Structure 1
Amino acid sequence: MTTTDASAGAATAADGTPADTGASRRRPGYGALWAGVPRELGFLILTMPIAIVGLSVLWTVFFTGLGLIAIVVGIFLMVAAFYIARAFGTLELVRLRWAGRPEIRRPDWSRDDREQGFWRATFMPFVDGHYWLYVLHTMIVNPIVSVVTWTVTIVWLSVGLGGVTNWLWQPFIPEQGRSFWLNEWLVDRVVPGNDLSYDVVVGERILEFVLGVVFLLTLPFVFRGLTVLHDLIARGMLGAWRSEALEREVASLAASRGAAVQAEDASLRRLERDIHDGPQQRLVRLQMDLATIERRLDQDPERARALVGEARETAREALDELRALSRGFAPPLLQDRGLASALSSLAARSPVTVAFEDLLPADAALPAAIERNAYFIAAELLTNVAKHSDASAARLRVGMRDTGVTGRWLDLWVTDNGRGGASLTAGHGLAGLQERVQGLQGVLVVDSPAGGPTSIGAHIPYTPLTAA
């Protein structure tokens, strides 16, 4: 898998949005309205029969259970009624989707694990407001609305088709004994006291044809309006509540914050351990060497001079370790010149030859927190390449995508020609890196087959900084 292919695949995984979402938001033209007429007609024609069946079945089961509530069987009948209403409500959502309407997010029937256990599953519908709304929709709202929309559908279709085809079938209908002509009545109302002489039969056929044309021309708008009416009712009564989406978002943010805190805590513990095992021990030795030098400076100058050399070497090693550890912190270059320059410097310092590719636009306007975390992630990935991959070369690439729907994403890829086998195993470095990325609401993609190459991508969403 090449870096380009992996990046493309990860882009889909990261945002999960279709490429033509912008086109779906454009207002449909007249031709597009006509294209949707067959599906909308099928939806509207079946609406009243399905509503009547739902009303009959649910009314019978619900009120039978209500009448027998004093005994156990009544409770189970009411539970059955709730699930029948849920089935008819779900059918309405499926039919609306089939009719071309945007998908309505359904309620989370098992939220908070309330369906765990037989008795919880049995009594849960009684306390879930969604079930009561589904019952109200199936027993009252949908039957009333469907009678109106079904009637309008039949009338509009009949007048339209009957009017434009009346010249075919009208001659076969006898006109004897007919005393009312609509065209004559309209002429008398428009031109009172007129003495016009014309064939009322021909006038009636012309009027019916004109009405048929008008009804057919407006038919797509009427069908779309009736379908939208059902859609609005279903969204209000059968869809998930906004509070549920907020609850899920809060839970997701809490989990992400917890992952970020755990990742940061692990990083701090690792830094503390590294400082204790490395520079701190060397500084303690340096202090002891200086004390020895001070004691022997007059008594044994040659030995003191040798200890000065050892102390100088200890100080140099401690300084090197502190410099290495400081790579885990945001360097001044990152704050002064931005992410691209900091990553370029990071690639230049790597023990493995790293080719850096900067695809960030000049107006990326990355928040400081995103830049800092991206730098940490790149540093960790390049450290893993140097320590574990046995690679001779690597590539570090950074870029940005604007999906238009889920916002902007920062894409950070590290690819090496090592031995592969990297995985998100719990307790290992990549698992901690995944927690850091998830804490930023991002996605970490690992593609590392045995034998290599390894491609690891971090995809992080962000909101661009606005100019002051």
Structure 2
Amino acid sequence: MTETRPMPPVDDPVPVDVDAPATTVLPVDPAPAPHDARRRGPRRVLAETGYALAAFPLGLVGFVLVVTGVAVGGGLTILAVGLPVLALTAVVARGFAHLERSRMRALLDREAPTPTYAAAQPHDGWFRRVLTPLRDPQSWLDMVWAVLALVTGTLAFVAVVTTWALVLGGLTFWFWQRWLPDQPDNRSLAELLGLGDGRGAESALNLALGLLALVLLPWVVRLVALLHAGLAEALLCSRASLQAEVRRATGGRDAARDAEARSLRRLERDIHDGPQQRLVRLAMDIGRARHQLDQDPERAREALDAAYTQARDAIDELRALSRGIAPPLLVDRGLGPALEELVNRADAEVELRIDPELAHGLAPHVEAALYFVVAEGMTNVAKHSGAATVLVQVEREGDVVAANVADDGIGGAHRGKGSGLAGLEQRVLGLGGRLLLSSPPAARRCCGRRCPSMAEAPAGSLRVVVADDSVLLREGLQLILADAGHTVVATAGDGPDLVAAVAAQDPDLALVDVRMPPSHTDEGLRAAVEIRRARPGARILVLSQYVEVSYADELLASGEGGVGYLLKDRVSELGSFLDAVATVAAGGTVLDPLVVAQLMRRRRDPLEALTPREREVLAAMAEGLSNAAIAARLTVTEGGVEKHTQRIFAKLDLHADDAQHRRVKAVLAFLR
């Protein structure tokens, strides 16, 4: 089961909680230690008394050492030895600062965070390393503390000693007064106040003063302890809080940037895997229909029906992508209606609970984050958990808003298994929140793959391996190749499967998509390069959604022919596509015209000696066109094309050899 809980509250700087668990409802984050756990009553008074009494001797020692060190170091700054003395003094002050923070934590139950001190860099010289403490602002604050601590420490010491003396002396005066000498000329305080002149009156007065001091003792001790600790906190801990805030802000900013980058990558991948693939398949089906319209109208009608289905599906996927970028209902009516609509589209039985207080008042970016947390949780439920029932709960918990998605599925969700949860975590961190995931696997799923066995290819046809992560495009390519009389002996959905299929089937040609799982980057291209390295001469025709000249460079790095690089859009031009298939299978080189155009702009040598017409001929050769096709494109005779070709060979210093071999070398020279 999967549970998800996120998001900040009503406005910006409030923390957020997000959990995406998987078992039961996640427990609320443990509350901080209760206030009652701190020292109370006599224990607190004794702890604060010890803190205040120790402040004076520590302050005195620190004052003497730091003032002496500053005086000596400052006086010797005219010499080189003065600065190291000051640096040593800063280190001594740092030690007293660490001791003070430890006392605050141990005796006053205060957090007293330690700031991050400047550290020497690996490339610093020895003298710069020695002076590192002087370049740290906190070191100077430590020295200021060592001086001022004597002032507040003395005040605390005097106040505490005086108060305790009044308490102990007043409460026990009745006992030890009998040993005091009795001078007839001395008048006691009780007598001066008109309370009587006997020892009884004096004992009663001292007892009253002792009781009053006992009542005031906790207040006096706490006041002077807080005065001393307040100054220490301001000088020794304030930068730590500022540094922590800067780290949080920096982390949130970096997380927001990372979340945005992940969102863009995911959007690009969703477009590539969804509408773009369907549109390419649509172009394939329309191309097949045009090709078969005169020869086989019935099959052309079937192709048009398939194209219509692909167009409808592409529209649905574009609509879903638009809803995922900015859900219209969320913008128009708020979080509640948007979540209700999201839940209504789910296949599983979903119970939705929304805190009524959240109907209004949430910032738009918080509402969006809550929506996408729930949406991602629902997506995980649909794709991976196999759950029958789901609970979606959005509620306020103090100063945070938590979104929980819990289900009764198999569990096993993990941040590292895809960009969904990882990207969601970055989105939440960017708002100052947290994503909590609990999804222990309760069962395992297995998936299998069945590869077609090697088929007997008709004479004169090509045996082809088709590799594309999209089932739609694999099926479309299989239909096109089958119509042309070729045999697809194996298909693959990722790079390792492609390598294994080529090794097992030894095909005449491999049609390879550049981007395949698991990372959806260039696994197909890397698999093609690996195949060419292991099987020199293997024929590879790469299909891509984008024009990337660097991909062509990698394919042609071996210097051999039998490779091609086309945009997937070219597949709809069935005649040109099938010609490219035949050319690459025969050992030629075929490049998409857009790639050729970019190479023409990018490459200079060794083609500077070629005339514009010769470059046009060479560019057409790179596209895999025959002399007849080049003559038709350039409106010249085949003899003229042959003359241009011979001059190109001569200018590129390609000696007489097999004509096809020289042609490949000329194209490779053009590309490099």
Deviations 1:351-402 (A, max 9, x none): 5xx3423332111133333333333333334334444x36253524222242
Go from structure 1 to structure 2 and tell me whether the alpha carbon gap of 1:53 and 1:35 turns closer, same or farther (over 3 Å shift): same
Gap change, CA 1:136 and 1:383, over 3 Å in 2: closer
Give the residue type in structure 2 aligned to 1:395: V
Deviates more, 1:200-209 or 1:273-282: 273-282
8 Å CA contact 1:263–1:436 kept in 2: the answer is no
Is 1:434 matched up with 2:425? Answer: yes
**Which residue does the alignment assign to 1:373?**
369
User: Could you say which residue in structure 1 is the equivalent of 2:158?
Assistant: 151
1:397–1:158 CA distance, 2 compared to 1 (3 A)? same
Change (3 A) 1:80 1:412: same
1:231 has 2:229 as partner: yes
Are positions 1:362 and 2:356 aligned together?
Answer: yes
Alpha-carbon distance between aligned partners in 1 of 2:72 and 2:283, rounded to the nearest angstrom: 85
Equivalent in the alignment of 2:136: 128
Map 1:374-453 onto structure 2 (within 5 A).
374-387=370-383, 389=384, 391-393=386-388, 395-403=390-398, 407-415=399-407, 417-418=409-410, 420=412, 422-425=413-416, 428-452=419-443
Deviations 1:234-277 (A, max 9, x none): 12222223754554354234313312321232233224324553
State the partner residue of 2:345: 349
- Work out the CA distance in 2 between the residues paired with 1:380 and 1:155: 66
CA distance in 1 between partners of 2:24 and 2:130 (Å): 49
Q: Is the 8 A contact 1:137 1:237 kept in 2?
A: yes
**Post-superposition offset of 1:154:** 1.0
- RMSD of aligned residue pairs (Cα, Å): 3.8
Distance in structure 1 (CA, Å) of the matches to 2:174 and 2:303: 118
Query: Which of the residues 311, 314, 320 maps onto 1:318?
Result: 314
Supply the distance in 2 between the matched residues of 1:256 and 1:428 (Cα, whole angstroms).
14
8 Å Cα contact 2:416-2:422 kept in structure 1: yes
Q: State how far apart, in whole Å, the 1-side matches of 2:301 and 2:62 are.
A: 99
How big is the shift at 1:341? 4.5
> For residue 7 of structure 1, what is the amino acid of its counterpart?
L
1:410-432 Cα distance to aligned partner (Å, 9 max, x none): 22324452362x43228644323
Q: Quick one: distance in 1 between partners of 2:225 and 2:24?
A: 42
Between Structure 1 and Structure 2, whose CA radius of gyration is higher? 2
Distance 1:372 1:453, change over 3 A: farther
Which letter does structure 2 place at the counterpart of 1:142? A
Moved more, 313-322 or 280-289: 280-289
What residue in structure 1 maps to residue 261 of structure 2? 262
Instruction: Tell me the amino acid that sits aligned with residue 43 of structure 1.
Output: Y
- The amino acid of 2:422's aligned partner reads A
What is residue 175 of structure 1 aligned with on the other side?
182
Residue 211 of structure 1, CA deviation? 1.5
SS at match of 2:356: coil
Contact 1:340–1:358, Cα closer than 8 Å, also in 2: no
Instruction: Work out whether residues 72 and 85 of structure 2, in 8 Å CA contact, stay in contact via their aligned partners in 1.
Output: yes
| Cα 1:308–1:69 shift into 2, 3 Å | closer
Query: Which residue does the alignment assign to 2:205?
Result: 207
What SS does the aligned partner of 2:108 have?
coil
Matches of 1:204 and 1:173 in 2, distance apart?
Answer: 12
CA distance in 1: counterparts of 2:114 and 2:40, whole angstroms: 27
Name 2:149's counterpart in structure 1: 142
| DSSP-derived class of the 1:425 partner | helix
Q: State the alpha-carbon separation in 2 of the partners of residues 367 and 105 from structure 1.
A: 33
Structure 2 CA distance, aligned partners of 1:262 and 1:77?
50
Q: Which 10-residue stretch deviates more, 317-326 or 157-166?
A: 317-326
1:146, distance to aligned residue in structure 2 (A): 1.6
Distance 1:453 1:71 in 2: 74
Q: Give the gaps of 5 or more residues in structure 2.
A: 2-20, 446-672
- Give the match for residue 193 of structure 2: 186
What displacement does 1:215 show? Answer: 1.3
TM-superposed CA distance for 1:86, in Å, is 1.3
Change (3 A) 1:158 1:70: same
* Inter-partner Cα distance in structure 1 for 2:296 and 2:285: 19
Q: How far has the Cα of 1:163 moved from its partner?
A: 1.0
Q: Which amino acid aligns with 2:26?
A: S
Q: Distance in 1 between matches of 2:438 and 2:159?
A: 58
Structure 1, unmatched stretches of 5+, are 188-195, 455-468
CA distance in 2, matches of 1:83, 1:126: 9
Alignment CA distance shift 1:313-1:209 (3 Å)? closer
After TM superposition, the score normalised by the length of structure 1 is: 0.75
Which residue is equivalent to 1:216? Answer: 214
Counterpart position of 1:328? 324
1:42 counterpart (39, 50, 64): 50
What secondary structure sits across from 1:203 in the alignment?
Answer: helix
- Partners of 2:75 and 2:326 lie apart in 1 by 71
Residues 38-187 of structure 1: pairs in structure 2 closer than 5 A = 38-66=46-74, 68-69=76-77, 74-100=82-108, 102-110=110-118, 121-138=129-146, 140-176=147-183, 178-187=185-194
Q: Mark the CA change 1:262 to 1:236 in structure 2 (over 3 Å): closer, same or farther.
A: same
Residue 18 of structure 1, aligned match among 6, 9, 32: 32
Taking structure 2 as the reference length, the TM-score comes to 0.54
Counterpart code for 1:435: Q
Distance in 2 of aligned mates of 1:310 and 1:248: 55
Distance between the aligned counterparts of 1:215 and 1:255, measured in 2?
56
Q: Distance in 2 between matches of 1:258 and 1:306?
A: 47
Aligned residue type for 1:173: L
Match of 2:437, SS? strand
Looking at structure 1, the residues matched to 46 and 162 of structure 2 have their Cα atoms a distance apart, in angstroms, of 16
> Counting helix residues as a fraction of each chain, which structure ranks higher?
1
Alignment match, 1:193: none
Distance 1:173 1:98 in 2: 41
Aligned residues: 421
Q: Distance in 2 between matches of 1:73 and 1:5?
A: 66
Quote the Cα distance in structure 2 between the aligned partners of 1:132 and 1:330. 52
8 A Cα contact 1:391 1:419, kept in partner: no
Seq. identity, %: 31
Distance 2:443 2:341 in 1: 26
> Which AA in structure 2 matches 1:424?
R
- How big is the shift at 1:168? 0.5
Q: Distance in 2 between matches of 1:334 and 1:78?
A: 62
